[in-house]
Amino acid sequence: MYAWTGKILRLNMTTKTATIEDNKYCKEYLGGQGLADRIIYDEVPTGTHPQDDASKIVIAAGTLCGTGAACSGRTSVALMSAFTEVPTIVDAHMGGNMAPQIKFSGYDAIIVEGKADAPTWVKIHNDEVSFEDASGVWGLGTRKTTEILNQEAGPEYCVCAIGPAGENLVNDSIIVNSMCHAAGAGSGAVFGSKKLKAIVIHGTKSVAVADPMKTLELQQYQLRELIGVNNNHVQPSNQQSWNEFVGATRWQGGPGKMWGEAIGGPLDTGEQKPGDINAIGMRNHTINFFMGNDDIAFKHTVKTGGCYSCPIRCFPDLHFDALKEYGTQYNTATCMTLMHTGDYYNGHINDFVDPGDGALTLGSHIQWLMDDYGVWCGYGDLDYTFAYCMKNDIFKQKLSAEEYAEIPWALQEAGDPQWANEMVSRIATKKGEFGRVLGLGSLWTAKEWGFPDSFWNEATGTYFNFKKGYIRHHSSESFGQVGGLVNIVFNRDSMCHTHQNCLGNGLPYDIVKGVLEEKFGEGCADKTACYTPMNPAKAKFAKWSIVRNNVHDSLALCNWVWPMTFSPMKERGYKGDTALEAKLLTAVTGEEWTEESVDFVGERIMQLQRAMTALELNSKNLRADHDGVSDWVFDRDPDKAAFTEGTTKLDRADWETALDLYYEEWGWDKATGIPTRATLEKFNLADLADKLEAAGLLPA
């Protein structure tokens, strides 16, 4: 068998046994997210809490993982959620090196089930699997754990570990590999409930590739002609010798843009002309894009990093002398926590060494601690909740006087790094009500502390989904209804970047519009803050964004770079190649795949998740029970009407039309947003239709 290993490794923590089984879902679900979701559906009873005995977690590699495809190092994880009202199917994803080692060990996925009676780590080397005593590393952070387990197993092993947050069953917890590559959604607590401290894995097998030369040829085509940087921004933020446009993009590298703390002295990232494969990795600097401030992030950059097999190095490897005394001086991460320092410090940020270096330095310190303690930020959910509590004096109101007095707020006011240690460690160890409640996730924090509906509704533009416990991820601010519709289907923040990657990529709007309209029809892509009423082309664009996201998470390619919708090359009219996934899949498997056939699998995965969600919510009407949107979406900018220039607000009646058209595209019942039997059967999901029908949830 090419590309797939055709095998799944099952780890039973109760019996401490490992079994190798056949993967019967290769072609139907591809791998990664699709495979992991299907296994959860097959094996975990609806309603199972993620930390229950019956709960399982699936860690899956994609079909293209290990084949050398660009950006194919991502790991898909499927589990049940604890941060939502009821347990629902959620995906979590991490980069780094875990998935390729699963593949090179001879597996497409690992299923973890049961519960060990004592702390355990699992060592995997190809077919050799052993359950080891983890009592010596239980309680340690992910970094020290990695260091110790690498000494035990070998320096080349990938350690995927939990920190104290996972051990203490914190809803907002992660599993993390390769220092900073984390899958969130409470995956750490699932490991913790199973007393699984870490999976430590190294494989020495091959991944068979049907046509190696074609695979290499396609990769070179992509690297020379199609790929840009993170978010597939395809034009630099600076003028180089070749670029027609300069944009506010994550393509921050260029002549004179230096890795300031490079080994051997400052290193000029240099000219990065499309076609020059050897300069691709010098292009990206995401956090410099966000921080700006006279290239402060470049100044602290040693080099860049990122995931296995990815030429886009979106993780800056940063160094801060000022953090040496805290042991956090070397850190790497992309964005989020790194740029939300102000939230955690309530604006108390001071310079460390250079003017304006406070936010980045402190942000890096917090990020380091979050990854080490294994706390999940929920794409900023924790940051926003914390900031809301500070702003509204919630801690003073809800904590006991003793606990409030005991928390060293003076450290926060002083902008002292030690504040972050206090805050993160309290959450990871559930210390006091402060620690326990903040780690529950925004929905349960809001419930426990009685937040008013304005927490979700006010025009902070944070929570697109009303009272769901997960925040917007490129929602209505990204192509209006398109981003909004993208944000309603999952049970966590929508980690879909397909649409977002078309926005702010450095190309003028007219070029972006032209390429997208060719694909989806006229009027599919409004200019930002110049929105127009809903139309069928927007529904097609939104649906494709989700479908292709699922394809990527199953192959598994990074949806923060893929698809190749655009190109940096003027000679191509800046048009990319959205058939490249199918071409690569054909080359590595030796089977004929087309854009349509890979998208069919991507759609199947959404149909599966949607039906699972209806079952989990026991909902006859997902339109009402799941897809609700917060008021700010329609009420922001009160002085402006929707569909006028200068606002990203949407219109309530138009949103109902948007849902109608979107559901129609998916083959979902318009009134309830639940897949019809015909739709489910089209995707070979008749078993889901039967189950929905038996539960009285299938649309008439």
Q: Which is nearer to other proteins, 309 or 341 (CB)?
A: 309
Q: Which is nearer to other proteins, 97 or 494 (CB)?
A: 97
Q: Quick one: which of 130, 220, 350, 400 contacts other proteins (CB under 8 A)?
A: 220
* Contact between 364 and 331 (Cβ < 8 Å): yes
Q: Is residue 207 involved in binding other proteins (CB under 8 A)?
A: yes
Q: Which is nearer to other proteins, 225 or 654 (CB)?
A: 225
Q: Is residue 1 involved in binding other proteins (CB under 8 A)?
A: no
Q: Is residue 281 involved in binding other proteins (CB under 8 A)?
A: yes
Q: Which is nearer to other proteins, 125 or 431 (CB)?
A: 125
Q: Is residue 215 involved in binding other proteins (CB under 8 A)?
A: yes
Return the number of other C-beta atoms located less than 10 Å from residue 82's C-beta.
27
Contacts (Cβ under 8 Å, ≥6 apart) of 542: 481, 482, 483, 485, 486, 499, 662, 665
Q: At what angle do helices 652-666 and 595-617 cross, to 10 degrees?
A: 120
Q: Which is nearer to other proteins, 313 or 468 (CB)?
A: 313
Binding mask 476-495 for other proteins (x = CB under 8 A): --------------------
* Contact between 161 and 239 (Cβ < 8 Å): no
Q: Is residue 506 involved in binding other proteins (CB under 8 A)?
A: no
**16, 54, 249, 543, 563 from 233: Cα distances, Å:** 47, 43, 6, 22, 11
Q: Quick one: which of 264, 401, 645, 700 contacts other proteins (CB under 8 A)?
A: 264
Q: Is residue 308 involved in binding other proteins (CB under 8 A)?
A: yes
Q: Is residue 313 involved in binding other proteins (CB under 8 A)?
A: yes
Q: Which helix (H) or strand (E) holds 128?
A: strand 128-133
Q: What are 93's strand-pairing partners?
A: 76
Q: Is residue 684 involved in binding other proteins (CB under 8 A)?
A: no
**φ, ψ for residue 370, nearest 5 deg:** -60, -45
Q: Quick one: which of 190, 199, 201, 209 contacts other proteins (CB under 8 A)?
A: 209
Q: Which is nearer to other proteins, 176 or 534 (CB)?
A: 176
Q: Which helix (H) or strand (E) holds 680?
A: helix 677-682
Binding mask 68-87 for other proteins (x = CB under 8 A): x-------------------
Q: Is residue 306 involved in binding other proteins (CB under 8 A)?
A: yes
The rounded distance, in Å, linking the Cα atoms of 104 and 114 is 25
Count of residues interacting with other proteins (CB under 8 A): 54
Q: Which is nearer to other proteins, 12 or 126 (CB)?
A: 126
Q: Which is nearer to other proteins, 327 or 355 (CB)?
A: 327
Minimum distance, C-beta of residue 66 to other proteins, in the bound complex (Å): 5
Q: Is residue 638 involved in binding other proteins (CB under 8 A)?
A: no
Q: At what angle do helices 652-666 and 536-555 cross, to 10 degrees?
A: 50
Q: Quick one: which of 302, 414, 459, 695 contacts other proteins (CB under 8 A)?
A: 302
Q: Is residue 67 involved in binding other proteins (CB under 8 A)?
A: yes
Q: Quick one: which of 5, 81, 309, 425 contacts other proteins (CB under 8 A)?
A: 309
Tokens of 110: 């690992």
Q: Is residue 598 involved in binding other proteins (CB under 8 A)?
A: no
Q: Which stretch binds other proteins (CB under 8 A): 9-17, 19-27, 279-287, 516-524?
A: 279-287
Q: Which stretch binds other proteins (CB under 8 A): 50-58, 263-271, 376-384, 494-502?
A: 263-271
Q: At what angle do helices 580-589 and 212-221 cross, to 10 degrees?
A: 160
Q: Quick one: which of 208, 530, 579, 671 contacts other proteins (CB under 8 A)?
A: 208
Q: Is residue 469 involved in binding other proteins (CB under 8 A)?
A: no
**φ, ψ for residue 668, nearest 5 deg:** -105, 150
Binding residues for other proteins restricted to 140-179, rule: CB under 8 A: 143, 146-147, 150, 155-156, 178-179
Nearest in space to 255 (alpha carbons), one of 270, 235, 239: 270
Q: Which is nearer to other proteins, 278 or 397 (CB)?
A: 278
Q: Which helix (H) or strand (E) holds 145?
A: helix 142-153
Per DSSP, the residues of 60-116 read E--SSTTTT-TT---EEEEEE-SSSSS--EEEEEE-TTHHHHHHHTT-SEEEEES--
List the strands of the sheet with 330-332, edge to edge: 301-305, 315-319, 330-332
Return the number of other C-beta atoms located less than 10 Å from residue 573's C-beta.
11
The rounded distance, in Å, linking the Cα atoms of 404 and 555 is 48
Q: Quick one: which of 1, 54, 216, 405 contacts other proteins (CB under 8 A)?
A: 216
Q: Is residue 325 involved in binding other proteins (CB under 8 A)?
A: no
Q: Which stretch binds other proteins (CB under 8 A): 5-13, 261-269, 333-341, 354-362?
A: 261-269
**Pairing mode of beta strands 7-12, 109-113:** parallel
Q: Which is nearer to other proteins, 53 or 147 (CB)?
A: 147
Q: Is residue 26 involved in binding other proteins (CB under 8 A)?
A: no
Q: Quick one: which of 14, 15, 278, 400 contacts other proteins (CB under 8 A)?
A: 278
Q: Is residue 212 involved in binding other proteins (CB under 8 A)?
A: yes
Tokens of 188: 């750490």
Q: Is residue 277 involved in binding other proteins (CB under 8 A)?
A: yes
Minimum distance, C-beta of residue 97 to other proteins, in the bound complex (Å): 8
Q: Quick one: which of 263, 401, 410, 700 contacts other proteins (CB under 8 A)?
A: 263
The rounded distance, in Å, linking the Cα atoms of 662 and 643 is 19
Q: Which is nearer to other proteins, 282 or 382 (CB)?
A: 282
Count of residues in the chain: 700
Nearest in space to 369 (alpha carbons), one of 322, 425, 297: 425
Q: Quick one: which of 330, 600, 634, 643 contacts other proteins (CB under 8 A)?
A: 330
Q: Which is nearer to other proteins, 279 or 695 (CB)?
A: 279
First to last CA, the chain: 42
Q: Quick one: which of 319, 340, 604, 610 contacts other proteins (CB under 8 A)?
A: 319
Q: Which is nearer to other proteins, 203 or 415 (CB)?
A: 203
Q: Which is nearer to other proteins, 284 or 460 (CB)?
A: 284
Q: Which stretch binds other proteins (CB under 8 A): 4-12, 288-296, 311-319, 496-504?
A: 311-319
- Give 455's Cβ-side CA count (13 Å radius): 27
Q: Is residue 317 involved in binding other proteins (CB under 8 A)?
A: yes
Tokens of 400: 């006991």
Per-residue buried b or exposed e for 322-361, using 16+ beta carbons within 10 Å of the residue's own CB? bbeeeebbebbbbbbbbbbbbbbbbebbeebeeeebbbbb
Cα–chain center distance at 202? 24
The rounded distance, in Å, linking the Cα atoms of 211 and 615 is 42
* Contact between 154 and 202 (Cβ < 8 Å): yes
Q: Is residue 282 involved in binding other proteins (CB under 8 A)?
A: yes
* Contact between 8 and 108 (Cβ < 8 Å): yes
Q: Quick one: which of 204, 350, 400, 644 contacts other proteins (CB under 8 A)?
A: 204
DSSP E strand boundaries for 151-195: 158-161, 175-177, 181-183
Q: Is residue 252 involved in binding other proteins (CB under 8 A)?
A: no
Binding site for other proteins (CB under 8 A): 66-68, 97, 100, 104, 143, 146-147, 150, 155-156, 178-179, 203-209, 212, 215-216, 220, 223, 259, 262-265, 267, 277-282, 302-313, 317, 319, 330, 332
